[in-house]
């Protein structure tokens, strides 16, 4: 069977999952697993951007090929990467390469899109953007920018802290699984 519109790196991650029933949680392992190219020469931000988009493509692959466990794991891997349990806080906003890809490809009701907006409003600071990120600002999707504006207005009008929990953006198989989620009840406040 030939899957002409499936990229080799995405399929490599899927095959790894078939055997190991896991997706690595660090981007360097994901890139090694993908075996897509010689990523050694890339800057760290480019490697991380590629890994983020790769995981988002795995989310789409899992949905498209009706593998709900893989779909959920890829989705939750992407979410978990943006919440740092080591430091007890949200790492930062989502890299723009991933935002651009996600808003062009994920369904409009995806919790990942909501998370991207929420993180941009609560965790982003201008110093987060390196030169490459500043260059991508003009490519940000209109839907993302409008959603950020609306969310910022809600935050300002309510004049209260915003609490974010990775569990709120996870996909759970059942209510029981959601209650048992390690991120359930762990909040980051801005």
In tens, the pLDDT along 38-48 reads 555 555 567 78
Query: Please, what is the average pLDDT of the chain?
Result: 87
| Predicted local distance difference test score (pLDDT) of residue 91 | 64
Counting Cβ atoms within 10 Å, is residue 41 exposed (0-12), middle (13-18) or buried (19+)? exposed
**140 in a structural domain:** yes
**13 in a structural domain:** yes
| Predicted local distance difference test score (pLDDT) of residue 1 | 73
Query: What's the distance, Cα to Cα, between the start and end of the chain in Å?
Result: 49
Domain range holding 13? 8-189
Q: What value does the mean pLDDT take over residues 142-149?
A: 97
- Backbone φ/ψ region at 120: left (φ over 0), alpha (ψ -120 to 50), beta: alpha
| Predicted local distance difference test score (pLDDT) of residue 39 | 56
> CB neighbours (10 Å) of residue 34?
23
Measured between alpha carbons, how far is 37 from 60 in angstroms, rounded to an integer?
Answer: 21
**183 in a structural domain:** yes
Total domains in the chain come to 1
CB 62 within 8 A of CB 70: yes
Of 27-36, 59-68, 85-94, 170-179, the least confident: 85-94
| Predicted local distance difference test score (pLDDT) of residue 90 | 59
**1 in a structural domain:** no
Residue 11: band (very low, low, confident or very high) from pLDDT cuts 50, 70, 90: very high
In tens, the pLDDT along 50-71 reads 899 999 999 999 999 999 999 9
**2 in a structural domain:** no
In tens, the pLDDT along 64-91 reads 999 999 999 999 999 988 886 654 455 6
**3 in a structural domain:** no
Residue 190: band (very low, low, confident or very high) from pLDDT cuts 50, 70, 90: low
Q: What value does the mean pLDDT take over residues 9-23?
A: 94
């Amino acid at each position: 069977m030939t899957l002409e519109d499936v990229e080799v790196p995405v399929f490599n991650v899927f095959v790894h999952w078939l055997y190991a029933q896991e997706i690595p949680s660090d981007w360097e392992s994901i890139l090694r697993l993908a075996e897509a190219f010689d990523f050694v020469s890339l800057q760290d931000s480019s490697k991380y951007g590629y890994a983020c988009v790769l995981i988002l493509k795995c989310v789409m692959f899992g949905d498209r090929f009706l593998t709900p466990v893989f779909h959920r794991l890829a989705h939750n891997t992407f979410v978990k990467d943006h919440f740092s349990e080591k430091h007890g806080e949200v790492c930062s906003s989502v890299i723009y390469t991933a935002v651009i890809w996600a808003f062009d490809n994920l369904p409009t009701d995806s919790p990942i899109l909501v998370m991207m907006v929420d993180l941009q409003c609560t965790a982003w600071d201008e110093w987060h953007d390196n030169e490459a990120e500043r260059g991508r600002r003009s490519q940000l999707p209109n839907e993302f920018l409008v959603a950020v504006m609306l969310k910022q207005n809600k935050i300002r009008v309510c004049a209260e802290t915003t609490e974010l929990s990775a569990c709120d953006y996870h996909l759970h198989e059942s209510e029981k699984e959601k209650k048992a989620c390690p991120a359930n009840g762990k909040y980051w406040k801005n």
